[in-house]
A = this chain, B = another copy of it.
């Protein structure tokens, strides 16, 4: 039911993941062994409906805690402060904030409150979506797929024992090196509304869509996977000129079959070869979703040797796991 959808999901997550500490009442997902002595803690969060982001990225090698808001609605400062207090070992906490007005305001307030409680807090803003500047919910660029890269690389840095200022610098560098662009083939339906949140006629695409269905750059008649890849990678490369290899995320918005996502990845890789962009690693799947929206996004993140090592480092979360 719409009123209980987030609490229900948290109960279901707790049942499936005994390695996590899920506080259903206060809406905080915490890695079970937190606080980890001497380790910088990472806290993120945002509106629900983008799963596995962020709760599915809590665990060794990635986030220390996540705060889910209502569907497509920012969590509140109290959740963030509670999370920070639960995971801080004394080494400080990094807040990872997607650039939406509500999230930014609430994490700012939470940082002040946490500092009042003696917790050292740093913040990094994720704003990788090149589709539009200023949008519904956002001043400046929106935060989308790069959030996964920021959480993974900064998470690995923290796990290695790097100090807060270094973890923060890496998170910032990952965001600066990342660009995303998304395409919708259908709208999504929120539990509260129960019907599509925006109108996208069958046979049309929204190029540059946001992860809440915010409008993009333009609407067009249906394009082939090949044409979408050409358009998407071109837009990204207008804004990013990678000299180093890139991490590639080909991300499903929720309702696009994995079969089609892999096919789309083949086209994305073709364009990257044509544009002579070397690819270090590729991840294909549903990671930063928009409920049941059909569509996909591409995120590129330029990486140096250290960043690549942090990407490859072990991670154990519900949504991303390797090496342990």
| A contact residues vs B (CB 8 Å cutoff) | 1, 4-6, 8-13, 15-16, 48-49, 51-52, 56, 71, 191, 224-225, 250, 254-267, 269, 279, 282-284, 286, 289, 291-292, 294, 316, 321-324
- Inside 8 A of A321's CB, which chain B residues have their CB? 321-322
- The copy count of this chain in the complex is 2
Given A8-B266, A269-B15, A282-B15: A255 touches B255 (CB 8 Å cut-off): yes
Which 3 residue pairs spanning A and B have beta carbons closest together? A8-B263, A12-B265, A12-B262
- Inside 8 A of A291's CB, which chain B residues have their CB? 257, 259
Residue of B nearest to A191 (CB): B260
- Inside 8 A of A294's CB, which chain B residues have their CB? 255, 292
Identify which of A9, A16, A225, A259 gathers the most chain B CB atoms within 10 Å of its CB: A259
Q: In whole angstroms, what is the CA distance A15 to B265 when docked?
A: 8
In whole Å, how far is A234's beta carbon from the nearest beta carbon of chain B?
19
Residue of B nearest to A68 (CB): B259
- Report whether A263 and B16 are in contact in the complex, using a CB–CB cutoff of 8 Å: no
- Report whether B257 and A8 are in contact in the complex, using a CB–CB cutoff of 8 Å: no
**Other contacts beyond A15-B282, A286-B286, A292-B294: 13, CB < 8 A:** A4-B263, A6-B259, A8-B267, A11-B263, A11-B266, A12-B261, A13-B265, A16-B250, A16-B265, A51-B257, A51-B258, A255-B292, A258-B289
- Report whether A12 and B292 are in contact in the complex, using a CB–CB cutoff of 8 Å: no
Residue of B nearest to A16 (CB): B282
Q: In whole angstroms, what is the CA distance A48 to B321 when docked?
A: 25
